[in-house]
Structure 1
Amino acid sequence: MPTQTFYNLPEEKRQKLLDAIHEEFSRVPFDDVSINQIIRLAGIPRGSFYQYFEDKQDLLQYLMADYRKVFKQHALASLERTGGNLFQMLLDIFDFTHAFVTEEKNNAFFKNLFSDIRVNIDFLHQQADGNTYDDFSAELLPHIDMDSLDIRSKDDFGNMLGILLPLTGEAFARAFFDVSSYEHVRAQYSARLDLLKRGLLKVKEAGT
């Protein structure tokens, strides 16, 4: 993660460096990212870069943690809007994520990142600050309507996410790498979520 020296930079200088990093990650896949190119674009000495970041893996981790915050904010907004509806949150995240990463300013960046399977695994399983998606789900947990779910043991919710999140990731990947398939993939994803609801939601008793 960035050093405190990075966070102490004046806002304009810090943003110029971030813009240079984003531009370089948008230009080439992760393995080909050049720190020399970043410092040239940012107009800083090479030594200064290493006062801010350890290496390009450190850069990647910072970027992933930053995007993770964006997704979490959207997930929380969805849960607040829907009264804690887990299934609608997942569909909202799918829609938001697709729109976000296919924006012109973000598209090349994410295509370069996700073209590298190691980067993909980093993003899905381990964030820069040491948080896993178990931690991410724990942050969302207080905002989810747990009473609507058929929870019978302490492990049930984690196992539910173990089913739902890979399904979401698969749908996202299919829609992202073939933009023309978005509507078809979304319809199929929504239908699969509806099927899972039948097994994961509590069955309401007659008259309730």
Structure 2
Amino acid sequence: MPKKTFFHLSKDKQDTLIQCAKREFSRVPLHEASIANIIKDAGISRGSFYQYFEEKEDLYYYLLNQSSQKNSERFIAALKENNGDIFEAFIDSFQFMIQNHTNQEHKNFFRNAFLNMNYKTEKTFTKNIYEENRDNHLLPIIGLMNTETLNIQGERELQHILKIIIAVTFDNLIQIFVKDLTYEEALKNYGEQMELLKRGFKKIQ
């Protein structure tokens, strides 16, 4: 996360630094990214950079967290729009995540993120949708989900379903970049897999 001094900057200066960082992280993965390139692009000194962030990793995960928050907001909206249907909500969210890939910089940023995925990256992406507290209870977002149609017994089984759907979602996002899938191909594959999950997890009417 940024240091407090970052938030003392004007919004324009914050946005400039963030955009320059995104450009660098779109060019190369995190481990190859250069602070020198970011500060040169942003027109700030290295000393100023370290007043705002401890390391490039803090800046990188701040960017990912911002994206995660947007995805979470879209997921919540999708749950409400689909009357708590988690399958339709995930499909809507998947569409939301991939529709911006027409922007090459945006696409490259996430290509580098997903093709160099680690535990921390995955946790950053999912923490606003799936997170447990000390008592292993899910976030209040669960209250928006319609569990009446699901073939589950209790919250623990709901946790397992969410973990499975999230794993499938991440695999599909990775496949977009590995196989260079079109928007239509990616959506078709994801829709087919979600349909299979529905058959297994939904109650038989």
| TM-score category, normalised to shorter length | 0.7 to 0.9
Per mean C-alpha deviation after superposition, the further-off stretch among 180-189 and 155-164 is 180-189
- Structure 2: runs of 5 or more not aligned: 133-137
1:46 matches 2:46 = yes
1: distance between equivalents of 2:15 and 2:186? Answer: 36
Aligned twin of 1:124: 122
- Structure 1: runs of 5 or more not aligned: none
Q: Is the contact made by 2:65 and 2:124 (CA closer than 8 Å) also made in structure 1?
A: no
1:99 matches 2:99 = yes
What is the CA-CA distance between 1:127 and the residue it aligns to? 6.0
Aligned twin of 1:156: 157
Q: What does 1:43-192 correspond to in 2, within 5 Å?
A: 43-118=43-118, 121-126=119-124, 131=127, 134-135=130-131, 138-192=139-193
CA distance 1:163–1:112, shift in 2 (3 Å)? closer
2: distance between equivalents of 1:133 and 1:77? Answer: 12
2: distance between equivalents of 1:24 and 1:139? Answer: 36
Q: What does 1:12-51 correspond to in 2, within 5 Å?
A: 12-51=12-51
1: distance between equivalents of 2:91 and 2:128? Answer: 21
1: distance between equivalents of 2:182 and 2:200? Answer: 28
Q: Is the contact made by 2:84 and 2:145 (CA closer than 8 Å) also made in structure 1?
A: yes
1: distance between equivalents of 2:47 and 2:122? Answer: 32
What is the CA-CA distance between 1:139 and the residue it aligns to? 4.6
DSSP-derived class of the 1:134 partner: coil
1:199 matches 2:197 = no
Q: Which amino acid aligns with 1:201?
A: K
What TM-score, normalized to structure 1?
A: 0.85
Per mean C-alpha deviation after superposition, the further-off stretch among 189-198 and 46-55 is 189-198
2: distance between equivalents of 1:90 and 1:71? Answer: 10
What is the CA-CA distance between 1:10 and the residue it aligns to? 0.9
Aligned twin of 2:135: none
Aligned sequence identity (%): 31
What is the CA-CA distance between 1:115 and the residue it aligns to? 3.0
Q: Which amino acid aligns with 1:166?
A: A
CA distance 1:196–1:114, shift in 2 (3 Å)? closer
2: distance between equivalents of 1:127 and 1:198? Answer: 27
What is the CA-CA distance between 1:89 and the residue it aligns to? 0.8
What is the CA-CA distance between 1:122 and the residue it aligns to? 2.4
1: distance between equivalents of 2:116 and 2:193? Answer: 28
CA distance 1:165–1:127, shift in 2 (3 Å)? closer
RMSD: 2.3
What TM-score, normalized to structure 2?
A: 0.86
Per mean C-alpha deviation after superposition, the further-off stretch among 158-167 and 97-106 is 97-106
2: distance between equivalents of 1:112 and 1:176? Answer: 9
Q: Is the contact made by 1:79 and 1:85 (CA closer than 8 Å) also made in structure 2?
A: yes
CA distance 1:126–1:67, shift in 2 (3 Å)? closer
Larger Rg: 1
Q: Is the contact made by 1:102 and 1:176 (CA closer than 8 Å) also made in structure 2?
A: no
**Number of paired residues?**
200
Q: Is the contact made by 1:125 and 1:133 (CA closer than 8 Å) also made in structure 2?
A: no
